[in-house]
C-alpha cells in the first residue's frame, strides 16, 4: 500500500503542520515583542524616577530576566513618584514656606512677628491697623476689612477701580524690604563731647 504525498509519517497533514509552524512563529514573535516592550518601558520608567545608575540597571535586568513576574516585582519596588513630580512637590512646598515666612516677618527688621501684631515690637514698624468696625487687625494694603466688610477710611472717596488696584507700594508694610545696614558710627549717647 502506498502512502499519499500529502500525509506525513506520523499521519499529520502537511497543511496543518505548516499552519502550526506559522502559528508558533507568530506566538514566539508576539512574546519576543512583549518581552522587549516590557524591558524598554521599564528602562524609560526607571530613568524618569531615579538618577541612580545601579538601581536603573537592576530594575531593567530584573524585568529582562523574569519578564512578567519581574514587571510585577518592579511595580512593588520602584519609587512612588517621578523626578518631575518630586521637583514640583518641592517647589510647591518652598513657595508655601516662603509665603508663610513673608507673612510672619517684619518688613523693617526681618525678625519674626506674630500675624496678630499691629506693630513690630523690635523696630516699631507699623504692620496693621485695628478696624474701627470689628477691632480686628487689618493690613495696611487692604482697602476694606475682610471680617466685617467695612471700607477703610482713607479709601472712602477713592473710586472702586482705583481702590481695587490697591494702594501704592509705599503703603504696603507686609512686603519684604531690604534690611537696614548698620552704621559704623557710635550712638549719640556713647559719643564723647569734645
Per-residue pLDDT of the chain (194 residues; tens, 9 = 90+): 444 555 554 555 688 888 999 999 999 999 999 999 999 999 999 999 999 999 999 999 999 999 999 999 999 999 999 999 999 999 998 888 777 655 667 888 888 888 778 888 999 888 888 888 888 888 777 888 888 888 877 655 444 444 444 444 444 444 444 444 444 444 554 445 44
- Kindly state the cell numbers that stand for 56: 536603573
Predicted pLDDT of residue 110: 82
Residue 44 · residue 63 · CB < 8 Å: no
Going by their DSSP bridges, the two strands 128-130 and 137-139 should be labelled as antiparallel
> What predicted TM-score, i.e. pTM, was given to this entire model?
0.47
Candidates 176, 174, 178; CA nearest to 138 is 174
First to last CA, the chain: 142
CA 127 to chain centre: 31
Candidates 105, 8, 85; CA nearest to 45 is 85
Helix axis angle, 14-49 relative to 83-103, nearest 10°? 20
Residue 38 · residue 67 · CB < 8 Å: yes
Residue 42 · residue 59 · CB < 8 Å: yes
Predicted pLDDT of residue 64: 96
pLDDT digits (tens, 9 = 90+) for 92-109: 988 887 776 556 678 888
Predicted pLDDT of residue 147: 86
- Kindly state the cell numbers that stand for 33: 515583542
Predicted pLDDT of residue 55: 94
Q: Give residues with Cβ within 8 angstroms of 4, minimum separation 6.
A: none
Q: How far is CA 80 from CA 54, 55, 84, 179, in A?
A: 18, 14, 12, 42
Predicted pLDDT of residue 174: 47
Q: Can you name the residues that pair with 7 across neighbouring β-strands? A: 13
- Number of neighbours of residue 60 by Cβ within 10 angstroms: 21
Residue found by looking up cell 513576574 in the block: 69
Amino acid at each position: 500500500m502506498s502512502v499519499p504525498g500529502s500525509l506525513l509519517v506520523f499521519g499529520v497533514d502537511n497543511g496543518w503542520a505548516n499552519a502550526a509552524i506559522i502559528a508558533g512563529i507568530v506566538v514566539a514573535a508576539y512574546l519576543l515583542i512583549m518581552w522587549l516592550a516590557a524591558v524598554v518601558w521599564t528602562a524609560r520608567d526607571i530613568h524618569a524616577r531615579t538618577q541612580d545608575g545601579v538601581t536603573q540597571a537592576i530594575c531593567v535586568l530584573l524585568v529582562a530576566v523574569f519578564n512578567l513576574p519581574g514587571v510585577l516585582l518592579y511595580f512593588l519596588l520602584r519609587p512612588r513618584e517621578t523626578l518631575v513630580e518630586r521637583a514640583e512637590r518641592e517647589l510647591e512646598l518652598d513657595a508655601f514656606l516662603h509665603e508663610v515666612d513673608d507673612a510672619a516677618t517684619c518688613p523693617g527688621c526681618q525678625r519674626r512677628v506674630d500675624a496678630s501684631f499691629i506693630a513690630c515690637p523690635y523696630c516699631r514698624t507699623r504692620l496693621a491697623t485695628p478696624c474701627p468696625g470689628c477691632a480686628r487687625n487689618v493690613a495696611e494694603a487692604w482697602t476694606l476689612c475682610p471680617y466685617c466688610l467695612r471700607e477703610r477710611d482713607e479709601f472712602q472717596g477713592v473710586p472702586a477701580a482705583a481702590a481695587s488696584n490697591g494702594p501704592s507700594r509705599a503703603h504696603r508694610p507686609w512686603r519684604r524690604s531690604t534690611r537696614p545696614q548698620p552704621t559704623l558710627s557710635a550712638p549719640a549717647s556713647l559719643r564723647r563731647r569734645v
